[in-house]
């Protein structure tokens, strides 16, 4: 027998919130019969949709056979059967709503970044700790098949001593004039919480620190390569946020990381996200789902000679890491972990302090760009 728990979902009329969190996570958990807690109890989450546009909420509820929706956050938070609050709103609206949810005694889970700035994120962590409510931030990349295979290699000692990591992320986002843009226009307005550094460096922080070690310092250069784009109504607007960032980071143990993040790059690699790890004993290249390796015993002898045609297939020197397990949707996996933590007391470490750590790296990157220098990233405490 399943125990039904209402989950307030704010901001899920947007693409990410609807597809990944509502449909592929909460509704998928319901379809599978709920999630088991450590004591064997089964929890069946029931979504309560919250947003500003009643027509969009009604359409979304009708499309998925849901009955609970409201444009009043206070109404949703006053429901004693709603124990969990989730936020996928635009970044600028998130901190205030999370504070209200914490004050209402709800367990809180949210998309990254937790807030628009480090000070606000730390305040949320303090409030959640003082209120004794479970709190968590989405770190979906850790649960992607390609990253999980990298984790498997790290845990097995495959790399020996890790020397360097190269992260390439991005794709060409159409400007919106002759082809519709694949991203919302607010992404390119700094005043509305846009910018690729704020959007992506939270991801790089938790991926790098969970796999390879703490970030100790960094240097970053941002750029607004496309100065004008066209919004959803076809109107031109000036871009006030960066659409690309180029960074070098130093981790514990001397690991050097290069990160390219860009919405103004055309893809000629295996995936939209590609991470190459080079170590003394072996190397690996991971994408969203796949991962391939080259051990030192299988490394060919490369010889530089630009005067003859290339006759070696370097891709053929790599071997695929097998799946060896079934990989569920990355967002759904973390939802299940959070629900087990919030409702059943299972261990969980991806809390608001971890989310604040992401914003610490974001602010260090902006400082480095602004002041044109290396910036240290110290330990962070609430």
pLDDT (0 to 100) of residue 292: 98
* Cβ pair 368, 215 in contact under 8 A: no
The secondary structure of 308-343, three-state, reads CCCCCCHHHHCEECCCCCCCCCHHHHHHHHHHHHHH
In tens digits, what is the pLDDT along the chain, a chain of 382 residues?
A: 679 999 999 999 988 999 999 999 999 999 999 999 999 999 999 999 999 999 999 999 999 999 999 999 999 999 999 999 999 998 889 999 999 999 999 999 999 999 999 999 999 999 999 999 999 999 999 999 999 999 999 999 999 999 999 999 999 999 999 999 999 999 999 999 999 999 999 999 999 999 999 999 999 999 999 999 999 999 999 999 999 999 999 999 999 999 999 999 999 999 999 999 999 999 999 999 999 999 999 999 998 989 989 889 999 999 999 999 999 999 999 999 999 999 999 999 999 999 999 999 999 999 999 999 999 999 987 7
What is the rounded distance in angstroms from the CA atom of residue 150 to the CA atom of residue 157? 11
Gyration radius (Cα) of the chain, Å: 22
Quote the longest CA-to-CA distance of the chain: 74
Q: Check: pTM over 0.85? Answer yes or no.
A: yes
pLDDT (0 to 100) of residue 84: 98
pLDDT (0 to 100) of residue 104: 98
pLDDT (0 to 100) of residue 311: 87
CATH architecture label of 142-327+360-371: 2-Layer Sandwich (3.30)
Contacts 24+ apart (CB under 8 A), 363-366: 363/117, 363/118, 364/218, 364/220, 365/197, 365/201, 365/218, 365/220, 365/222, 365/245, 365/247, 366/197, 366/220, 366/222
Sequence ranges of the domains in the chain: 2-138+330-350, 142-327+360-371
CA dihedral 156, 138, 215, 373 (to 10 degrees): 150
What is the rounded distance in angstroms from the CA atom of residue 192 to the CA atom of residue 286? 33
pLDDT (0 to 100) of residue 310: 86
pLDDT (0 to 100) of residue 382: 72
Query: Would you give the DSSP letter of residue 218?
Result: E
pLDDT (0 to 100) of residue 277: 98
pLDDT (0 to 100) of residue 34: 96
pLDDT (0 to 100) of residue 73: 97
Sequence-distant (6+) residues with CB within 8 A of 308 are: none
Would you put residue 40 in left (φ > 0), alpha (ψ -120 to 50) or beta?
left
Which CATH number applies to 2-138+330-350? 3.40.50.720
């Amino acid at each position: 027998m399943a125990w039904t728990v209402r989950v307030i979902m704010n901001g899920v009329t947007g693409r990410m919130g609807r597809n990944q969190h509502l449909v592929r996570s909460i509704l998928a958990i319901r379809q599978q019969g709920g999630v088991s807690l450590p004591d064997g109890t089964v929890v069946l989450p029931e979504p309560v949709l919250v947003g500003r546009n009643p027509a969009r909420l009604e359409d979304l509820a009708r499309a998925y056979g849901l009955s609970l929706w409201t444009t009043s956050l206070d109404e949703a938070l006053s429901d004693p059967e709603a124990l969990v609050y989730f936020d996928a709103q635009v970044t600028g609206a998130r901190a205030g709503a999370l504070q209200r949810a914490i004050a209402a005694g709800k367990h809180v889970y949210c998309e990254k970044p937790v807030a628009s700035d480090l000070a606000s994120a730390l305040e949320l962590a303090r409030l959640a700790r003082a209120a004794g409510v479970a709190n968590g931030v989405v770190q979906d990349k850790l649960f992607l098949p390609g990253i999980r295979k990298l984790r498997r290699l790290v845990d097995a000692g495959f790399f020996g001593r890790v020397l360097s990591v190269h992260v390439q992320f991005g794709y060409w986002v159409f400007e919106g004039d002759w082809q519709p843009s694949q991203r919302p226009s607010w992404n390119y307005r700094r005043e509305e919480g846009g910018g690729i550094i704020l959007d992506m460096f939270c991801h790089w922080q938790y991926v790098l620190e969970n796999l390879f070690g703490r970030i100790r310092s960094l240097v970053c250069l941002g750029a607004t390569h496309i100065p004008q784009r066209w919004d959803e109504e076809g109107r031109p607007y000036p871009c006030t946020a960066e659409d690309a960032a180029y960074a070098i980071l130093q981790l514990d143990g001397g690991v050097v990381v290069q990160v390219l993040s860009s919405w103004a790059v055309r893809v000629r690699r295996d995936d939209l996200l590609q991470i190459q790890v080079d170590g003394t004993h072996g190397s690996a290249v991971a994408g969203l789902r796949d991962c391939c390796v080259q051990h030192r015993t299988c490394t060919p002898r490369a010889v530089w000679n630009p005067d003859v045609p290339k006759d070696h297939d370097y891709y053929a020197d790599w071997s695929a890491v097998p799946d060896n397990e079934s990989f569920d949707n990355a967002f759904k996996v973390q939802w299940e972990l959070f629900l087990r933590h919030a409702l059943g007391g299972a261990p969980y470490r991806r809390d608001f302090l971890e989310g604040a750590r992401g914003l610490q790296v974001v602010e260090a990157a902006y400082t480095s760009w602004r002041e044109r220098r290396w910036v240290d990233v110290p330990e962070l405490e609430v």
